[in-house]
């Protein structure tokens, strides 16, 4: 495996902690915050896969809202307009995992960094700017919205090769989602898995080139 000429990161769950909404969710629905956050995220991902299979793309804002509505109803929680608006807004101000900034600083010393995410461009710009990550990524924040389909469709990863003007084999891809890392590897990227949940490797025929418990661990696998 060659040292990647560029590194591309998934956003949600890799850089940004999607479960940082739990505190807000718990304040709105006491004792149910963690369950709501988990159900919301699980259904959000399921809807991206199902919409891709059906050929019925809708942007990630809409998918996230639909998943929230499903999660609220599944837990028999009230879906007031004010609470729903607050929860949706929280996706624009998600917190960073604690090691992210240091790992990006190290990895960005010798190569350009980029983001490739299911997120709508508006959502991504908001959360990147909220966390002051533009210094690492500049305008290299890419959305599946360009392709009109969600990960792990190969057309999504092709956005990166076109925008960075690099061959797939020259690009490293970092994700906390094992299925996303597998999709990137299948496309031709070097794939690095941030295995935050200590899960087994996905049986999709495309194991990652490296794995670690967090982004700092992945950074240690690559030359600074």
Residues serving a catalytic function are 10
For the chain, how are helix, strand and coil distributed in percent, rounded to 5? 50, 15, 35
Look at residue 195 and give its three-state secondary structure.
coil
Which residues pair with residue 85 across a beta bridge? Answer: none
Look at residue 174 and give its three-state secondary structure.
strand
d(CA 44, CA 66): 8
d(CA 23, CA 33): 7
């Amino acid at each position: 495996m060659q040292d990647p000429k560029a590194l591309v990161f998934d956003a949600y769950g890799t850089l940004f902690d999607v479960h940082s909404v739990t505190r807000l969710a718990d304040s709105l629905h006491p004792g149910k915050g963690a369950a709501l956050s988990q159900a919301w995220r699980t259904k959000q991902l399921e809807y991206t896969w199902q919409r891709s299979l059906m050929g019925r793309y809708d942007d990630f804002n809409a998918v996230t809202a639909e998943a929230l509505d499903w999660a609220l109803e599944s837990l028999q929680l009230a879906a007031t307009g004010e609470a729903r608006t607050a929860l949706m807004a929280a996706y624009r101000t998600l917190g960073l995992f604690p090691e992210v900034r240091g790992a990006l600083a190290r990895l960005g010393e010798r190569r350009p960094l980029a983001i490739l995410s299911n997120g709508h461009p508006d959502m991504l710009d908001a959360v990147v700017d909220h966390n002051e990550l533009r210094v690492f990524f500049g305008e290299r924040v890419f959305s599946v919205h360009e392709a009109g389909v969600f990960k792990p469709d190969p057309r999504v990863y092709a956005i990166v090769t076109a925008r960075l003007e690099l061959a797939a084999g020259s690009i490293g891809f970092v994700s906390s989602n094992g299925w996303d890392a597998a999709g990137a590897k299948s496309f031709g990227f070097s794939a690095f898995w941030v295995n935050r949940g200590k899960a087994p490797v996905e049986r999709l025929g495309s194991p990652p080139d490296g794995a670690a418990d967090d982004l700092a661990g992945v950074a240690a696998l690559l030359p600074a």
